[in-house]
Structure 1
Amino acid sequence: MNVTYDFAGKTAIVTGGSRGIGRGVATLLARSGADVWIWDADPAPADGIRSQTVDVTKAQDISTALGEVVARTGRVDILVNNAGYLGPYLGFEAFDPAEWQRIVGVNVIGTFEVTHQVLPVMRKAGNGRIVNMGSLAGKEGLPNLAVYSAASAGIIAFTKALSREVCDTDIRVNCVAPGPIDTDLIRRLGNEVVSDMVGASPLKRLGAVEEVAALVLWLCSDASSFNTGAVFDMSGGRARY
């Protein structure tokens, strides 16, 4: 069954939208009529989607890009905070501190920086949808992904707290927490790690980018008007709570 949405007249920003889940979300939003802007440190052009070079950890990059979006469209209706960095699959004791700083910088600080600048635009309009991409790791705490797990848990807590701060408006803030999805990010962990992930899944497969994108679009739509501060699993049954 195909579910369709009409986002005509809506402006959407998708961070980390050049590939993987972000690309899938941006593509589906554009197909549904939204004016989509990808913010990525390494943007990749796509038909019907505008791309800007943005390092989400740099406030000036965000300010410049947002200024262009608002100047051209006058609004931001949807923000999908998808930019992320997984880091190496490695025990914490062997971790290079520079790596954990990058993980926290991109995943947590990047989400803070982008939201801090986009939220006032939404608040002025009195409505909007923010979807933060977390991870199963943030709920379960996965070995060899300790720092990424901690960063993802931070995104979950941030989502819950921020949603309560904006509940006097029609701004809704939710989180999607995927398990292993079939992207280059996961495949780069190696065949053995991927095989273990599939084996641990009750559905015995990786998730598809399109499945995650479909959930994100629902959260961005008017159909999800009563959901805020919630965390939605996309784990193939792996999540235990």
Structure 2
Amino acid sequence: MSNTYDLAGKFAIVTGGAKSIGRAIAELFLANGCGVCIWDADRAEVPGARSALVDITRSDDIRRGLAELGDAQRIDILVNCAGYLGRATSFKDHDPGDWQRIIDVNLAGTMRVTQAVLPRMLQQRSGRIVNLGSLAGREGLPGITAYSAASAGIIALTKALGREIASENVFVNCVAPGPIDTDMIRDLGPDVVDRMIQDSPLRRLGQRDEVAHLVAWLCTEASRFNTGAVFDMSGGRARS
């Protein structure tokens, strides 16, 4: 896509930016003049971006990541994109260790990072936070019950925090994708992916750059009356 966004001079932290949707967001930000630091548990090699090894389930990692940026670094944008889907299974058979990790990465991790970064935005009296949720959090999808619950928590967090800090000129929004063509989705297996495609009115998976463009727009002044909102990205699949 050739769309451009006025992000020149801004600085963003993108969690989960080493690959997939997070990487697409980081690359689009960089292409539009935004400085980027990627926080990921895996090493990120994105040309032009700074990076730090940050496991968002570990508060010490998050504190270290902020310390490496320095106290003087302005943070204009936070994109909470790090996520973990786990395996598709019935809830009665879902290993507790796995569903606990889903909650810890997706919901608790988003909360940890946001709580750590938010004071800088409040001090600046400006900022944009975009949380990546999921269609599963809006509707509840069988076979990925824990992921649905964690995503629903992200949506509720977005709505509540967006209302709480709107007067501080810090806007919080959520993008809730349906199935996007990523390794995380493909790893569910071809039968599951085929059903996802058949359930989509557009009869395809979404593309990671399509998600990135919506996130970028939410971080510009064009989106200056949106906070506490959840933006569908499901190709018409969402029913609520």
Q: Structure 2 length normalisation: TM-score?
A: 0.98
- Give the CA deviation at 1:168: 1.2
Amino acid corresponding to residue 234 of structure 1 in structure 2:
M
- Using the TM superposition, give the Cα deviation of residue 6 of structure 1 relative to its aligned residue in structure 2, in angstroms: 2.5
Which residue of 2 is the match for residue 51 of structure 1? 51
Percent sequence identity is: 60
Taking the aligned partners of 1:151 and 1:170, their CA distance within structure 2 comes to: 27
* Distance in 2 between residues matched to 1:4 and 1:89, nearest whole Å: 37
Structure 2 counterpart SS, 1:9: coil
Unaligned segments of structure 1, at least 5 residues: none
Aligned to 2:80: 81
Code of the residue aligned with 1:120 in structure 2: it is P
Aligned residue in 2 for 1:29: 29
Aligned twin of 1:168? 167
Query: Structure 1, residues 65-92: CA drift from partner, whole Å, max 9, x if none?
Result: 1122234x62100000001100001110
1:151 maps to which residue? 150
Q: Distance in 2 between matches of 1:70 and 1:233?
A: 35
Q: Alignment partner of 1:6: what SS?
A: coil
3-state SS in 2 of match to 1:233? strand
CA contact (8 A) 2:23 2:46 kept: no
What corresponds to 2:40 in structure 1?
A: 40
What's 1:14 paired with?
A: 14
Give 2:93's aligned amino acid. Answer: A
Query: What residue number does 1:194 align with?
Result: 193
Q: Which moved more, 1:57-66 or 1:153-162?
A: 57-66
Corresponding position of 1:220: 219
1:67 paired to 2:67: yes
What is the deviation of 1:49? 0.8
Which residue number in structure 2 is paired with residue 125 of structure 1? 124
Whole-Å separation in 2 of the counterparts to 1:168 and 1:39: 28
Q: Deviations over 1:107-162 (max 9, x none)?
A: 01100100001000000000000000000000110010000000000000000000
Q: Tell me whether 127-136 or 73-82 shows the greater mean CA deviation.
A: 73-82
CA contact (8 A) 1:70 1:76 kept: no
Partners of 2:220 and 2:172 in 1: how far apart?
12
Amino acid at match of 1:68: E
CA distance in 2, matches of 1:9, 1:157: 31
Tell me, in whole angstroms, the C-alpha distance in 1 between the residues paired with 2:114 and 2:43: 20
**1:79-118 mapped onto 2 (5 Å cutoff):** 79-118=78-117
TM-score normalised by structure 1 residue count: 0.98
Structure 2: runs of 5 or more not aligned: none
Segments ≥4 residues shifted beyond 4 Å: none
For residue 43 of structure 1, report the CA deviation from its aligned partner. Answer: 2.0
When the two structures are aligned, how many residues end up with a matched partner?
A: 240
State the SS of the aligned residue for 2:79.
strand
